[in-house]
Amino acid sequence: MSTPDDPPADSKLTRSKRRWAQEARFLTGRTSRPGEQRLPPGQHLTRDWPTLDLGLTPDISRERWRLDVYGAVEQPLFWNFSQFTGRPQANFTSDIHCVTTWSRYDNQWEGLSTRDLLGACRPRDEARFVLLHSHDGYTTNLALEDFAAEDALLAHSWSGAPLEAEHGGPVRLVVPHLYFWKSAKWLQSIEFLAEDAPGYWEVRGYHNRGDPWLEQRYSGD
């Protein structure tokens, strides 16, 4: 038996993705800047919205959901869903870029901007990184500046409706300027750290930062 916080054993998809990292698949060797072209190098546009996960979909109701914010912060937080949505709400529209090469334009998100969250928890001076923990045992790490991007948010709704469980509901992170694996679904807790701590994909061959414009797909790129 694994505890709820252990990631599940490899699935067909996670095995393929580990192999793609070893083979450095999909790399074009081109880079560009966000202002120059909307679609990052090596990406193609999709109109549907694929689902990527570790082979399981946690079933968490809004009633049971809690957000735990801890570590190097002046004010640790432990919010239930109505405390979370009681904060000022942000609406952002952004593009998704998945490292497996699909991109999806114009996603409408509603939730709490990460800047508002930072205002509430007040990271201490030594805080330089965040590690996101999810209900499926997934983790992913971000530099504090990336987490604090202007259009990053903890989203509970997409296209005006509650975020579906398969896409990470009740609440997921959305960090539009990085590959979508940084956008943790089924968010459970946010840990503020002085030292970086690589997450699930970052220890399985994927880049520590994941900028799609620089094609930072794999570690060692």
Using CB under 5 A as the criterion, which residues of the chain lie in contact with Mo ion when the complex forms? 52, 98-99, 181
Calpha distance 172→53 (Å, rounded): 13
Length of the chain: 221
Q: Candidates 113, 141, 183, 216: give the one binding ligand MTE (CB under 6 A).
A: 183
The total of other beta-carbon atoms located within 10 Å of residue 221's CB is 15
Q: CB of residue 72 vs Mo ion: minimum separation in angstroms? A: 28
Nearer to ligand MTE, 183 or 189 (CB): 183
In angstroms, the first-to-last Cα distance of the chain is 36
Nearer to ligand MTE, 35 or 47 (CB): 47
Q: Are 100 and 221 in contact (CB under 8 A)?
A: no
**How would DSSP label each residue in 70-116?**
EESBSS-EEEEHHHHHTSPPEEEEEEEE-TTSEEEEEEEEEEEEHHH
Calpha distance 130→97 (Å, rounded): 21
Nearer to ligand MTE, 24 or 194 (CB): 24
Structure tokens at 111: 């939730």
Q: Candidates 114, 134, 141, 157: give the one binding ligand MTE (CB under 6 A).
A: 134
Nearer to ligand MTE, 54 or 117 (CB): 54
Residue 219 identity (one-letter amino acid)? S
Q: Are 216 and 181 in contact (CB under 8 A)?
A: no
Asked if 50 touches ligand MTE (CB under 6 A), the answer is: yes
Calpha distance 100→201 (Å, rounded): 13
Q: CB of residue 138 vs ligand MTE: minimum separation in angstroms? A: 3
Residue 42 binding target from ligand MTE, Mo ion, none, CB below 5 to 8 Å by type: none
User: Interaction with ligand MTE in 99-128: which residues (CB under 6 A)?
Assistant: none
Taking CB under 6 A as the binding criterion, the range among 19-27, 45-53, 76-84, 191-199 that sits at the site for ligand MTE is 45-53
Q: CB of residue 57 vs ligand MTE: minimum separation in angstroms? A: 9
Q: Candidates 27, 52, 143, 214: give the one binding ligand MTE (CB under 6 A).
A: 52
Asked if 138 touches ligand MTE (CB under 6 A), the answer is: yes
Q: CB of residue 183 vs ligand MTE: minimum separation in angstroms? A: 5
